[in-house]
Amino acid sequence: MSRIKTQSKPQTLGDLKNEGYVCRTVREEMRANLIAAMETGGDIFPGIIGYEETVLPQLENAVLSGHDVILLGERGQAKTRLIRSLVNLLDEEIPVIRGSEVNDSPLAPISRLGKELLAKNGDALEIEWIKRQERYAEKLATPDTTAAELIGEIDPIKVAEGRYLSDELTIHFGLVPRANRGIFAINELPDLSEKVQVSLFNILQERDLQIKGYKLRLPLDVLVVATANPEDYTSRGRIITPLKDRYSAHIRTHYPLNRRLEKRIIDQEVPQQQRHGRPVRVTGFMKDILAELTMQARLSSDINQTSGVSVRMSISNMESMISSAEKRAIRCGEPEIVPRISDLAAVVSTTDGKLELEYAVTEETPALIVEKLTRRAVERVFAEYLLTGEKGWQKLEPLVTGFNDGSWVEVSALAPARDYVPLVGRLKGLKPALEVLELGESAGELAAAVEFLLEGLHVNRKISREVVEGRTIYNETNKIQQVEGASDLA
């Protein structure tokens, strides 16, 4: 990184020369800063989880090679965040000619305005310093995006001021030239029309641009990165072949490869902090169930997998589940916020918009789809927590026997945690089963554990369940008490 020796930054070209400043291309700059970060072991891509062994090595190779990059992946795979993290590889500040629209280097301007100012002022040329964040430009591609937005067009106001149409100074530069000496990102590249895609050819290959037939040579120094859905990029042919060829590095992103990574992302994006003085405590099995629900959605034949299941679903579901538990804590005057199985009903609204169903299952409601996914998630997590080892079901046999002897339990998202405490003494076999989970002694965690045990037994067909006006009743298998208005969901 080029550093200024004195504390006060140069304000003219002469001062800059005296400091011995060396201007580098954006690729040289990013390469040098990446190497420095690798040597010191710094966090090059903060906030990116799960790509350490897959995507990031490829992206580092692309930066070292000076390649333009396209990231291919379904929605919710942190493509935009990954692109924005590239800004960290830019120098903290660089000097530009004051008043330049294209971040002209004082040592080697490329625009006519920059060249004229340099010729007129010489070493007295005024400069200003721009931060790395100001050197990043991003555009979400849409079918109506025009070449004028990206490249530029004739500015009628400048013409009205008396300039000739042949004068380069009549041009209003677009987003790409204004990102000169920086990074320009296009999200959802396939959504650009073919005409606009063609306008990017020269920028990616020859590093210049053409506007309205002008014989304009503007050797831009810009790193162009893009994102795309693999289906749009390959099957539908919505990116013209020559443009594909001009992106040197094609990097495939992916969803978290396991539940552990999914949970790490949830923890990062939804910190468990206090809410209005109440601590938030999400038990390990509830976090596992939420993460597993998303993992099951990515495996489900009911879900359109080409569209993908975003990590944002896990994040939104966690936020919604905690909020459901918070409402109960407020209304019941509880000192802590502890989500439990009955709070999973709240995730239907945050899951609905994240799933695109296959045509064959469009008659199923989102609530039914979420219920199916939740059952699978609970079954899998329950097995990991309670059915491991040689004993397996033997640890739970006393609890199941208790239900077969006539025990029953009613739970509800509105019931305070203190209502669950007497169950430990009343329900045969419950206490040893709770000890297996190794939870704290708070009433909230106890309530969460009880509901987890009951629902786990139900999805494994050891006990039955019925829902009555928002209340859930767990009972003996195949001998459900007939309750007026009940609907069997077993």
Angle in degrees, CA 125, 171, 175, rounded to 5: 85
Contact indicator for 290, 284 with CB cutoff of 8 Å: no
Residue 139: count of CB within 10 angstroms of its CB: 20
- Answer whether residue 483 shows pLDDT above 60: no
- Answer whether residue 484 shows pLDDT above 50: no
| Amino acid making up residue 261 | L
The whole-number average pLDDT for the span 120-144 is 94
- Answer whether residue 85 shows pLDDT above 90: yes
What pLDDT, on a 0 to 100 scale, did the predictor assign at position 411? 92
Residue 490's pLDDT band (cuts 50, 70, 90): very low
| Amino acid making up residue 95 | P
pLDDT in tens, 100-126: 999 999 999 998 889 999 999 999 999
- Please tell me whether residue 95 adopts helix, strand or coil conformation: strand
CA distance readout (Å), 61 to 30, 58, 67: 12, 5, 9
Reported pTM: 0.84
Name all domains of the chain by residue range, CATH numbers in brackets.
13-252 (3.40.50.300), 259-488 (no CATH)
Q: State both tokens at 89.
A: 């590889």
CA distance readout (Å), 358 to 300, 303, 308, 351: 10, 5, 12, 15
Contact indicator for 317, 293 with CB cutoff of 8 Å: yes
- Answer whether residue 1 shows pLDDT above 50: no
The whole-number average pLDDT for the span 303-327 is 92
- Answer whether residue 157 shows pLDDT above 80: no
Whole-angstrom distance, CA of residue 428 vs CA of residue 296: 33
8-state DSSP, 181 = T
pLDDT in tens, 11-65: 999 999 999 899 899 999 999 999 999 999 888 899 999 999 999 999 999 999 9
Whole-angstrom distance, CA of residue 351 vs CA of residue 168: 52
